[in-house]
Chain A
């Protein structure tokens, strides 16, 4: 797995690093440095982890930084920079921070850094919305932080997975041009978008946007128990699916993600490569616009549409088993996941319902879907359109590239629109807030509710759940909401998109991947 030139390069790299202390007793120093060459479909847009809330940036955050707590494989919390936490009262949570943690610059990590980071998150356009419930963060002493919320808020720990403390000392002051070093700039150059100092397992040593990013293991990384043995990471963005797979099969890279569903068999068949898949948390659904089509106001028609679509067939045949059929928004593991809900498919029942509603002869609708946003998105839309024809629905389908699609989506330009959603907070309430609540431009509720479905009673229930700090009670409330949405057929759920990674046999991916799709590469073991 190590070829000559990378070995030479990493030896050179190591000789530069060696004069620094603390590597001498490390056991990995007597074996060869391990390089992992990986290819993702895109590279992070910036080194500033607060510039964009996206999968790519979060994957980067887990390399260069560490969160206060992080998700485990079964969607539980695991302490990272926060060693411990306790709820003081309904509105206050106290975190005890780990001792002896250092930033890449050598600065010590303290409670002040956490406070500084939270304040910066509250200024970030992308993170502002999810950090809105937090009223303040205070450093009690050097290793204790108290986070206060405006109202009782059950999801403080979920938010803590987004708090990747940044080196406040490093980002303080001004650059030579007189710009503050901590400014967050979406379009333009900023100090933080090109410089990075966190507590994470890797430091960025070289970055050429769109070409590659190189990381090296941080010598003073606090987590000495981490089994991770990769000394150097080279991330290359390969947008073209076929090329990414070829790069792995030809041995040019050691690890790729995502693996396109059409190539799953090819990857599985290769004896040097191992495929790792997992059911994901991104729900793909279709929204039936009640404002545009009168018939969709009738729950019987919406139900008939649900009965007409065979989710299992889409998941099995079209997605080649690379999806989990869904009957609700919340994936398994979320508090709102209601295991009594099953996908319904029964064409006869669908026809009956249409007859009852007085639409036996069907009607025509328009449908829009992206063609390069989700896995097989355009094909799924075609399949759904064909299935709907069995209840005499004539679908006029238009598929567009994602760059054009979202404009049309914002205009609610078709009667049926496809959307995929992953809850940033890994929590069911987020799904309801964006996808099913009554649209209200003032509060931003229902921002992606292209169905225009509105049920104030349910919205009220979600609001109550959001101030309920008893987790079990809250889960019950959220599951009730899922049930109500199901009974009302508020939308057409299709499936949760699966996740897939592939790597050479000696790269032990399985223990470090998770449903959030942030592989914890700091803990990755590559066998020699």
Chain B
């Protein structure tokens, strides 16, 4: 166990090292940060001075060496735009992103398990077919579009009236097709609950939650169908297995077979995929946060790219790399708990 964790720690170091080298290597393609810092009429001599001051003229190895030495001491440099240590900037933006990911995960868990199980138990029912076709659509629509559609439907509202509005039935049908709007369309709102440090939460007030709904739904929209289909497929397979047939023959109640014996075995591959997807979801927050102006890491990263804020870009990439390694480690640990035959250390059983 300890050996496994130490091994993973080494992995994390290697991953972060590789990421930092790569992001440093591409920085010359990320544009000139000086251009973003100064006005248009600043003469070249001034720019050169500033460039020298920031050490941008040094060779790649010198710049990387300087960065690596500082990074090992926990100093990842100053953001050009925020004028603050990059780690502080990220600390401030991290809670918003985590909350969004947590909310989306909750939505995914709450909906995918029952729907997936139902679709496996009643594969031919009309409702199952409906879920399956909707999930295909869900997978194929990009997050960006989902987000904009959600805003149009629930924040701005649509007035759609193909039926004659003079008649009672027409009005009723029009009412069904139109939406009111009124949901907040951007940001986290003002009603945040302070937890600790830089963490202000949306979870503890009704107003805060309304701000969370649309971004979380659009972030979940890409993963939810995937999980519904995954759980359905796994469950179908498990339901064909010998021990389920045996349990049925033994007369154990169907409910118990479905939700205790079958579901448990269904969840193994789901957890593996889930762990990997959790990391991917952090990456997807870039799109969701941009559309909803959600003040998290994703939006911060996109803006950092536009401003060529290289220290912030490098730190963000390294931290996301770390998140990937940590979630994968956790998944492996949970895997061991769910299925004791899995040996983490890789020694022969």
Interface residues of A (CB under 8 A from B): 5-6, 9, 39, 45-46, 52-54, 125-126, 128-130, 185-190, 193, 208-212, 236-240, 242-243, 246-247, 249-250, 252, 372, 401-407, 421, 424, 430, 434, 441, 444, 447-448
Contact = CB atoms under 8 A, between A and B. Distances in A.
B327 interface: no
B83 A193 contact: yes
Contact of B155 (A129, A208, A239, A250): A250
B156 A403 contact: no
Contacts of B50: 125, 186-187
Given A53-B39, A406-B35, A407-B31, A240 B185 contact: no
Interface in B280-317: 290-293, 295, 299-300, 303, 305-308
Contacts of A126: 38-39, 41-42
Given A240-B293, A243-B292, A404-B31, 4 more contacts: A187-B50, A188-B83, A250-B156, A401-B31
A186 B207 CA distance: 39
B199 to A, nearest CB: 14
Nearest to B54: A187
A401 B306 contact: yes
17 contacts: A52-B39, A125-B46, A126-B39, A129-B43, A185-B83, A189-B83, A242-B151, A243-B185, A243-B290, A246-B156, A402-B31, A403-B305, A403-B307, A406-B31, A406-B35, A447-B43, A447-B44
A209 B82 contact: yes
A363 to B, nearest CB: 30
Interface string B230-252: 00000000000000000000000
Interface-central residue, B84, B185, B306, by most chain A CB under 10 Å: B185
Interface stretch (B8-16, B132-140, B186-194): B186-194
B25 interface: no
Contacts of B308: 403
B36 interface: yes
A246 B50 CA distance: 39
A87 B242 CA distance: 101
A318 B136 CA distance: 36
Given A209-B82, A441-B44, A9 B190 contact: yes
Given A126-B42, A403-B305, A188 B35 contact: no
A406 B37 CA distance: 13
B191 A5 contact: yes
Contacts of B187: 211-212, 236, 252
B305 A243 contact: no
Contact of A210 (B43, B191, B290, B303): B303
A186 B37 contact: yes
B64 interface: no
A186 B38 contact: yes
Contacts of B113: none
B99 interface: no
A424 B41 contact: yes
A226 B191 CA distance: 33
* Chain B binding surface SS class: loop
Contacts of B155: 246, 250, 252
Given A53-B41, A424-B39, A252 B83 contact: no
Nearest to A372: B306
B186 A403 contact: no
A130 B41 contact: yes
Contacts of B43: 129, 444, 447
A115 B155 CA distance: 51
A239 B42 contact: no
B29 interface: yes
Nearest to A52: B39
Given A250-B155, A401-B306, A424 B185 contact: no
Q: Top 5 closest A-B pairs, CB basis? A: A403-B31, A53-B39, A250-B155, A444-B43, A126-B39
Interface of B: 29-32, 35-46, 50, 53-54, 78, 80-84, 148, 151-152, 155-157, 181-187, 190-191, 207, 290-293, 295, 299-300, 303, 305-308
A187 B47 CA distance: 13
B35 A403 contact: yes
Contacts of B40: 53, 421, 424, 434, 448
B83 A243 contact: no
Contacts of A129: 41-43
A236 B190 CA distance: 12
Contacts of A210: 82, 295, 299-300, 303
A242 B148 contact: yes
B32 A403 contact: yes
A441 B82 CA distance: 31
A190 to B, nearest CB: 8
Contacts of A212: 187
A210 B37 CA distance: 16
Given A210-B295, A238-B293, A243 B39 contact: no
Contacts of A402: 31, 35, 306
A37 to B, nearest CB: 10
A386 B83 CA distance: 44
B291 A243 contact: yes
A52 B39 CA distance: 6
Contacts of A54: 39
A441 B44 CA distance: 8
A247 B300 CA distance: 20
Contact of B37 (A187, A407, A448): A187
A497 to B, nearest CB: 15
Interface-central residue, A212, A249, A430, by most chain B CB under 10 Å: A249
Given A125-B46, A444-B44, A188 B78 contact: yes
A246 B152 CA distance: 7
Nearest to A211: B295
A126 B53 CA distance: 16
A126 B182 CA distance: 44
B313 to A, nearest CB: 11
B83 A247 contact: no
B156 A239 contact: no
Contacts of B41: 53, 126, 129-130, 424, 430, 434, 447
A236 to B, nearest CB: 6
Contacts of B83: 46, 185, 187-190, 193
Nearest to B191: A5
A73 B39 CA distance: 24
Given A52-B38, A210-B303, A242-B148, A252 B186 contact: yes
A54 to B, nearest CB: 6
Contacts of A403: 30-32, 35-36, 305-308
Contacts of A208: 295
Contacts of A238: 186, 293
Contacts of B291: 240, 242-243
Nearest to B41: A129
A237 B81 CA distance: 15
Contacts of A125: 38, 42, 46, 50
A199 B30 CA distance: 40
A242 B31 CA distance: 26
Contact of A250 (B31, B46, B151): B151
A264 to B, nearest CB: 16
A422 to B, nearest CB: 8
Nearest to B30: A403
B213 to A, nearest CB: 14
A211 B155 CA distance: 20
Nearest to A404: B31
Contacts of A52: 37-39
Contacts of B39: 52-54, 126, 424
A238 B303 CA distance: 11
Nearest to B37: A186
Contact of A252 (B31, B46, B185, B303): B185
